[in-house]
């Protein structure tokens, strides 16, 4: 009976929290609109009618960028996994691209790209899609590479022994093996994509700003509209409903479908996927719609699996033969050409950089080291504050499956909210209502925005780490009657250490990306700036003022500042990753890995 009751209760949980969330949003939305209607009724309602169109535009851009990323990830990941020698170059390059906060020079890159394509909305759309792509692709390529590297040895041998090669191998083994990892990373990529979208649907060059119709530009424009609070609220509500909708109608059915692509190797007691499956089997309303997707995906994959054919007619399959002289000469020539091209790019880049920088120093150039230091400090504080609330929460929730599941979903949704979309809230609270003054008010408001870019990664990864914790270890601790503190020290803390570190690295990455929004806030015609690399880069791209630090910069000075700021930041981040994070991660995975 008790078991039946829990199942009955679980049947409704997902529906409950989704419903609750929608209800709250709806209420907030209505309140905002009602508050507003007395004065600007016509304006708000016209904006609301415009929103679905904006959302559709943004989703289209995201989808195109995502499809590009998917193709890129599969091609590069499969290529690298099959060629260890190439992988030695490809993997570090991907790693650097992944750790560099591309959002920081979005505006500048966007301006260049749009000019290259002769201006106009077409060029801007292409540039926006490409920039969203740069926020989505790298982790997906990594995931393909990792998935292929971890195909169990006996499966690889079995495929070889059966003579499965070429297209048959690609469609029946290679791509299916990537599905679970790709799905998880696709969700992360979409989160990153929403973030990028807010930066690239709006372009400011000098005093002129152009924007594409979309949710991103809506949110960015909201802060400078006549009634930023209501517009901000409307923007957040619209984005949240899109994100929740995609989660329910796309990611969850895909998650159910992806179940069949997992190799059975670990036995976990409380995996996200079993919860997902249960949700799928027991949910009511969403199940009906998502079932269509699952069923058609299953049909499609079965059709592929039964129709794909091999062509191994010879009875002894030769290993790859040693290439002839001609082939070897071609390979050497290709490699030399590649090196020459790389050298040309590097030399050209240095020359271009030198001519951009030379003679265009501004008083702000000297502030770059200080700015990076201050920004790093802000991220570190945001990170520690995040730990302060996420660690106790996770420890409280880890044995409550329903809470746990709810937390994962909610954090995933909230992580999709770009910092800029919360500007209206923090500025209203800390600067306008609490009168904390320009210094403390802006500093705290910025810190809260920064936390939004940091905390969800910490939470995600800890939840993930705990869900992979073997149940028998928890049982052993219970059976020995360990106190809470003892259990935390001897089991939970070490067990979550590797995933906490992964979370830390991604959190700092998220932090660097958020800085351009949190250190130079524009709200209702005011600018709230603090000294830091984010602000400096905003000054360099012309979207923030240099304030009392320097007179307005010439466009040459801006270019020089941008190049030097981004360059210094990249060097700092890459060196820090290499010498701090990489070592800590290696240590943690070596020391705290759970193996059977």
Partner 1 sequence: MLMKLDNVSKIYQTDGPPATVLADISLEINSNEFVCIVGPSGSGKSTTLRLINGLMPPSVGRVYFKDKPMAGINLQCAMVFQNFALLPWLTVTQNITLGLEARNIPRADAMKKAALYIDKVGLDGFEGAYPRELSGGMKQRVGLARALAIEPELLLMDEPFSALDPLTSINLREELLDIWADPNLAVSTVVMVTHNIEEAVELADRVVLVAGRPGRIVADIEIAIPRPRNKNADAFTRYVDSVFSLMAEC
Applying CB under 8 A, the residues found at the interface with partner 1 are 152, 154-155, 157-158, 160-165, 168, 172-173, 176, 260-264, 301-302, 305-306, 308-319
**Per-residue tokens: 113:** 């790209």
As measured in angstroms, the least distance from the Cβ of 315 to partner 1 is 5
Asked if residue 449 lies in contact with residue 422, where contact means CB atoms within 8 angstroms, the answer is: yes
Helix axes 401-415 and 442-467, enclosed angle (nearest 10): 140
As measured in angstroms, the least distance from the Cβ of 496 to partner 1 is 28
Q: How far is CA 372 from CA 364, 407, 425, 514, in A?
A: 13, 33, 26, 14
| Nearer to partner 1 (CB atom), residue 50 or residue 298 | 298
3-state SS, 74-107, equals: HHHHHHHHHCHHHHHHHHHHHHHHHHCCHHHHHH
| Nearer to partner 1 (CB atom), residue 308 or residue 493 | 308
Bridge partners for 203 per DSSP: 210
| Nearer to partner 1 (CB atom), residue 270 or residue 414 | 270
As measured in angstroms, the least distance from the Cβ of 260 to partner 1 is 5
| Nearer to partner 1 (CB atom), residue 180 or residue 228 | 180
Beta strands 520-523; 208-211: pairing state: unpaired
| Nearer to partner 1 (CB atom), residue 263 or residue 354 | 263
| Nearer to partner 1 (CB atom), residue 313 or residue 479 | 313
Q: Is 444 left (phi over 0), alpha (psi -120 to 50) or beta?
A: alpha
The DSSP annotation for 459-504 comes to HHHHHHHHHTS-HHHHHHHHHTT--HHHHIIIIIHHHHHHHHHHHH
As measured in angstroms, the least distance from the Cβ of 255 to partner 1 is 15
As measured in angstroms, the least distance from the Cβ of 163 to partner 1 is 4
As measured in angstroms, the least distance from the Cβ of 317 to partner 1 is 4
Three-state SS at 49? helix
| Nearer to partner 1 (CB atom), residue 255 or residue 441 | 255
**Per-residue tokens: 559:** 């270019």
| Nearer to partner 1 (CB atom), residue 312 or residue 554 | 312
As measured in angstroms, the least distance from the Cβ of 290 to partner 1 is 19
Q: Say how far apart CA 60 and CA 128 lie, in whole Å.
A: 11
| Nearer to partner 1 (CB atom), residue 4 or residue 154 | 154
Its sign, for the CA torsion 26, 32, 33, 34, is positive
Asked if residue 134 lies in contact with residue 72, where contact means CB atoms within 8 angstroms, the answer is: no
As measured in angstroms, the least distance from the Cβ of 262 to partner 1 is 6
| Nearer to partner 1 (CB atom), residue 308 or residue 574 | 308
As measured in angstroms, the least distance from the Cβ of 297 to partner 1 is 11
The DSSP annotation for 148-183 comes to HHTS-HHHHHHHHHHT--HHHHIIIIIHHHHHHHHH
As measured in angstroms, the least distance from the Cβ of 178 to partner 1 is 12
Q: How far is CA 590 from CA 350, 382, 460, 503, in A?
A: 39, 28, 22, 17
3-state SS, 215-261, equals: HHHHHHHHCCCCCHHHHHHHHHHHHHHHHHHHHHHHHHHHHHHHHHH
Q: How far apart are the first and last CA of the chain?
A: 36
Asked if residue 199 lies in contact with residue 103, where contact means CB atoms within 8 angstroms, the answer is: yes
How many residues comprise the chain?
596
As measured in angstroms, the least distance from the Cβ of 1 to partner 1 is 28
| Nearer to partner 1 (CB atom), residue 123 or residue 163 | 163
Which of the 8 DSSP states describes residue 379?
H
Q: Say how far apart CA 456 and CA 411 lie, in whole Å.
A: 6
Asked if residue 171 lies in contact with residue 308, where contact means CB atoms within 8 angstroms, the answer is: yes
As measured in angstroms, the least distance from the Cβ of 89 to partner 1 is 20
| Nearer to partner 1 (CB atom), residue 4 or residue 321 | 321
Angle at 187 between CA 66 and CA 203, to 5 degrees: 50
Bridge partners for 205 per DSSP: 208
As measured in angstroms, the least distance from the Cβ of 443 to partner 1 is 51
| Nearer to partner 1 (CB atom), residue 155 or residue 292 | 155
């Amino acid at each position: 009976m008790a078991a039946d009751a829990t199942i009955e209760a679980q049947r409704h949980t997902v529906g409950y929290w989704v419903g609750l969330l929608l209800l709250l949003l709806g209420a907030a939305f209505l309140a905002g609109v009602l508050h507003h209607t007395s004065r600007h009724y016509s304006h708000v309602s016209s904006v609301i009618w415009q929103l679905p169109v904006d959302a559709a535009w943004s989703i289209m851009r995201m989808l195109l960028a995502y499809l590009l990323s998917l193709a890129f990830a599969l091609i590069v990941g499969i290529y690298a996994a099959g060629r260890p020698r190439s992988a030695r170059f490809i993997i570090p390059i991907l790693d650097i691209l992944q750790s560099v906060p591309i959002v920081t020079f979005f505006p500048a890159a966007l301006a260049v790209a749009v000019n290259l394509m002769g201006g106009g909305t077409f060029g801007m759309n292409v540039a926006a899609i490409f920039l969203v792509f740069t926020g989505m692709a790298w982790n997906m390529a990594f995931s393909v590479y990792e998935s292929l590297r971890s195909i169990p040895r006996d499966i690889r041998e079995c495929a070889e022994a059966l003579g499965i090669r070429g297209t048959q191998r690609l469609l029946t083994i290679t791509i299916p093996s990537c599905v679970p990892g790709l799905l998880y990373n696709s969700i992360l990529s979409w989160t990153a994509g929403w973030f990028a979208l807010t930066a690239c649907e709006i372009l400011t060059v000098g005093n002129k700003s152009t924007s594409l119709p979309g949710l991103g530009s809506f949110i960015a424009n909201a802060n400078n509209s006549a009634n930023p609070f209501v517009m901000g609220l409307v923007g957040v509500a619209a984005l949240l409903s899109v994100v929740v909708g995609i989660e329910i109608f796309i990611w969850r059915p895909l998650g159910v479908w992806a179940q069949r692509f997992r190799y059975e190797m670990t036995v976990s007691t409380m995996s996200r996927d079993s919860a997902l499956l249960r949700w799928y089997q027991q949910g009511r309303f969403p199940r009906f719609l998502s079932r269509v997707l699952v069923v058609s995906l299953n049909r499609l994959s079965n059709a592929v699996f039964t129709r794909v054919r091999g062509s191994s007619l010879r009875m002894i399959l030769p290993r790859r033969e040693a290439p002839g002289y001609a082939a070897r000469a071609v390979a050497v020539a290709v490699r030399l050409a590649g090196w020459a091209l790389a050298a040309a790019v590097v030399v050209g880049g240095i020359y271009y950089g030198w001519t951009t920088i030379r003679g265009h120093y501004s008083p702000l150039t000297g502030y770059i080291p200080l700015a990076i230091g201050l920004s790093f400090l802000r991220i570190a504080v945001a990170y520690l504050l995040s730990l302060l609330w996420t660690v106790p929460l996770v420890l409280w929730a880890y044995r409550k499956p329903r809470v746990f599941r709810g937390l994962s979903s909610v954090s995933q949704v909230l992580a999709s909210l770009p910092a800029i979309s919360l500007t209206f809230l923090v500025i209203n609270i800390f600067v306008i209502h609490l009168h904390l003054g320009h210094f403390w008010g802006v500093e705290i408001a910025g810190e809260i925005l920064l936390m939004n870019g940091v905390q969800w990664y910490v939470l995600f990864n800890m939840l993930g780490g705990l869900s992979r914790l073997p149940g028998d270890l928890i049982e052993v601790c219970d059976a020995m009657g360990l106190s809470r503190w003892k259990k935390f020290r001897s089991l939970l803390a070490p067990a979550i250490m590797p995933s906490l570190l992964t979370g830390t690295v991604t959190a700092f990455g998220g932090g660097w990306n958020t800085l351009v929004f949190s250190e130079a806030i524009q709200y209702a015609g005011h600018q709230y700036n603090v000294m830091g690399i984010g602000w400096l880069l905003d000054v360099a791209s012309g979207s923030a003022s240099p304030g009392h630090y320097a007179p307005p910069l010439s466009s040459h000075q801006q270019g020089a500042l941008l190049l030097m700021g981004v360059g210094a930041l990249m060097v700092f981040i890459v060196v820090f990753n290499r010498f701090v994070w990489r070592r800590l991660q290696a240590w943690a995975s070596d020391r705290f890995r759970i193996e059977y």
